Homo-oligomer: A and B are copies of this chain.
C-alpha cells in the first residue's frame, strides 16, 4: 500500500478517479433470449442522482444488496488480500445473488466509505477491483456513494434482468426433485482455517494448494452463465447461491419450498485441499463442505425427469454440476452415508458460530 499518493476529498476523487474510470457508460445494452432489451441511459459518468435504464417488453428486474466488512475482512487484515481484491470480492458477492436468481447482471451500485487518510491510489485500487469484476460479468458500476468513515466500509447493490417468469426462487422445490450444486464448497472456510490458525504453519500444503485457497477469496466468481442456463432452460425448480454455506442454502430452499432433503455424503464434491485442511485442523471434512463457508456455487433443484436434459444444456456451455441428493415430503434434512445411515447435516450453522464472517 503506497502512502505517498494524496488523500483527496470526495469532489476531487470524483473528478480525478471516478470520472475517468467510468467514462462512456451510456448506451450499453443487454438483449434477453426473448428479444427484449434493457439499455443504460445514464451511468456513473453522468454523476446524476441515480442511474437510469430503459426497459422494453415485460422483463423482470432483480435487485439485491451485500455488504463486505472492509477492514474486518480477516484475510485482508492479515495482508493476504489487498484493496483490489476486496473491491473485486464486493462486486462478485453481489453478482452472485443476481446469478442465483437466473438473471443477467446489468449494473452495480457501490458504497465506498474510507478513512480520511486513505491515499487516492489505494482508493483507486478498490474501484479497479470493483470495475474489473463488473467488466467480467458485463454489468457496469453505475454509481453509488463515496465518502469518509472511521474505517473502510464496502457495500453494494446489484441489479439484473430476466425474461418474464424466469426468476429462480428458493420456493419451487417439490418432493422427488434432485438436489444439485455447481461445484465444490468449503474452500473459503478452509482458507480461513489455514491462514488464520497459528497451529497450522504456512507451507503445510503445496504452494498450488495455497493458491486455490486464496483465490476463493481473491477471485470469487459469480456463476452468471450457469444461472442463465438454469433460468432459460425452464427446468430448475429452485436456486440460491452457497454464500451462507451449503447447509444453510439447502435449509433455506427446504424452508421456502416446504420440503426436506436427503443429501448423499459420497456425492458431495470435495477438493483435495479442503480434505488436507480438514486433516490439519482435526475436523471432519464434511463440516467444512457443508458449514458456513462463503463460496459462490449455485444450489438448485430439478425434477428427476429433466436431470439429463439439464446436464446436456450445461455441457453445451462448458459447465457441469453435481447431483447430491433429492427432496422429500418429510421436512427433515439429513446426510446419508454409503452404508445407509443418516444423521443431521454437520457443519457450523449460518452466522451462529462464526459471527465475524463477512
- Which residues from chain A sit less than 8 Å from chain B, CB to CB? 9-11, 41-42, 46-67, 69, 72, 97-98, 100-101, 103, 107, 109-111, 113, 116, 142-145, 147-151, 153, 155, 157-160, 162, 164, 167, 169-171, 240-241, 252, 256, 349-352, 355-356
Contact = CB atoms under 8 A, between A and B. Distances in A.
A63 B142 contact: yes
A229 to B, nearest CB: 17
A352 B143 contact: no
Nearest to A166: B52
A125 B295 CA distance: 33
Contact of A64 (B58, B64, B109): B109
Contacts of A355: 9, 116, 148
4 shortest interchain CB distances as A-B pairs: A50-B64, A157-B157, A50-B62, A49-B97
A291 to B, nearest CB: 14
Nearest to A51: B63
A60 to B, nearest CB: 5
7 contacts: A49-B97, A52-B169, A54-B60, A55-B60, A65-B111, A65-B143, A111-B155
Contact of A67 (B11, B47, B116, B147): B147
A54 to B, nearest CB: 5
Contacts of A148: 355-356
A166 to B, nearest CB: 10
A48 B111 contact: no
Given A58-B56, A351-B11, A149 B49 contact: no
B42 A64 contact: no
B240 A49 contact: yes
Contacts of A151: 150
Contact of A41 (B51, B60, B69): B60
A135 B8 CA distance: 39
Contact of A100 (B49, B54, B144, B351): B49
A14 to B, nearest CB: 10
A41 B63 CA distance: 12
A183 B44 CA distance: 28
A42 B167 contact: yes
B56 A240 contact: no
Given A46-B256, A153-B153, A145 B51 contact: no
Given A46-B256, A47-B252, A50-B103, 11 more contacts: A9-B351, A10-B350, A11-B351, A11-B352, A48-B101, A49-B62, A50-B62, A50-B63, A55-B55, A64-B144, A67-B145
